[in-house]
Amino acid sequence: MTDRGQGNGPGAVVSGCPDLVGSNPSSSGLRLQLRLASRTIEQAENGSGQLLIRNVGKKHFRMDTGQPLVASVVVKGTRTVVGQLSGGVAGEGYMLDLRPGGSATVGVLFGVTPCFNSATVALPPGRYGVRVVLGDEDRRAPGPRILSPEASIQVTAAS
């Protein structure tokens, strides 16, 4: 856990979630784009989107990612996780199987439950990033863990 100070807004929390770990998509011959269903989310809501995956490399790419993928809310421009989806996810298996030039889309869910010990149930309003780690759903399986580029999200006060 990294001390990130205390107060209100992005970057001013003590995170209880580990920082995201993953390689650049180009190192696996992939191009990733995270598209959120909305650029704004209320504090009490969960968000969704899609991860577009394109094989721009010369090798066949296969990975059992499962679906939907669960993304994390981060301090903008970092790998520092400050928000997460709480509760269970009813997912299913999904074999990502991309030949060179192939592409696929996988659903993504995320939430704004804070990672820090707080009496609040959601992140403070502000601008954050959303990132997803693409990896085998069996975390013990060998293979890359690939970090998506960041998509921007505005968290607003619950109405």
| Residues contacting residue 88 through CB under 8 Å, at least 6 positions apart | none
What gap in Å lies between CA 134 and CA 108, rounded to an integer?
11
CA-only gyration radius of the chain, Å:
16
Mean pLDDT of each 10-residue bin along the chain, 159 residues long: 37 66 92 97 92 96 89 95 81 84 96 76 90 84 87 93
Residue boundaries of the structural domains of the chain: 25-156
CATH number of 25-156: 2.60.40.10
The predicted structure's pLDDT at residue 144: 87
The predicted structure's pLDDT at residue 5: 35
> How many of the other CB atoms lie within 10 Å of CB of 133?
18
The predicted structure's pLDDT at residue 10: 41
The predicted structure's pLDDT at residue 158: 85
- 21 burial class (0-12, 13-18, 19+ CB within 10 angstroms)? exposed
What does 121-150 look like in DSSP terms, one character per residue?
Answer: SSPPSEEEEEE-EE--SSTTS-S--EEPPP
The predicted structure's pLDDT at residue 117: 60
